[in-house]
């Protein structure tokens, strides 16, 4: 970015995201504008009761062992945790 561009768009930021399957890192462009209205994203919360469900261990192990296309250990960890979160978000409300 140039200084002129930053002067025109002072609230804009760009950050690198974790790569999931590609060898390229996606970039997230944030305009700094807040969208009106409530957010529909629910926060992820791990529930201890999930540990009493046999299906939890089987599914978590299957997700964790999926291959990751990265050699960076931090990226590998982030991708695996992201996959676990994506699957189990809302899982408890359907299973219990």
Angle ∠(79,80,86) on CA atoms, nearest 5: 85
Structural domains in the chain (count): 1
Query: Which pLDDT does position 57 carry in this prediction?
Result: 92
Instruction: Dump pLDDT digits (tens) for 52-89.
Output: 988 899 999 999 999 988 888 998 999 999 898 888 88
Q: What is the mean pLDDT of residues 9-33?
A: 79
Statement: residue 22 has pLDDT above 80: no
Q: What pLDDT is attached to residue 26?
A: 84
pLDDT value at position 39?
Answer: 59
> What residues pair up with 29 in beta bridges, in sequence order?
14
pLDDT the model gives residue 77: 92
- When comparing pLDDT for 42 and 19, which is higher? 19
Range(s) of the domain holding residue 30: 3-34+43-95
Question: Which residue, among 90, 88, 48, has the nearest Cα to 64 in the 3D structure?
Answer: 88
């Amino acid at each position: 970015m140039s200084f002129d561009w930053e002067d025109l768009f002072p609230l804009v930021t760009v950050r690198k995201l974790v790569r999931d399957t590609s060898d390229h890192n996606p970039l997230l462009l944030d305009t700094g504008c807040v969208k009106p209205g409530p957010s529909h994203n629910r926060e992820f919360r791990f529930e201890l009761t999930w540990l009493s469900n046999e299906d939890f261990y089987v599914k978590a192990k299957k997700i964790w062992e999926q291959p990751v296309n990265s050699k960076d250990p931090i990226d590998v960890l982030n991708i695996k945790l992201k996959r676990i979160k994506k699957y189990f978000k809302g899982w408890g409300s359907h299973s219990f």
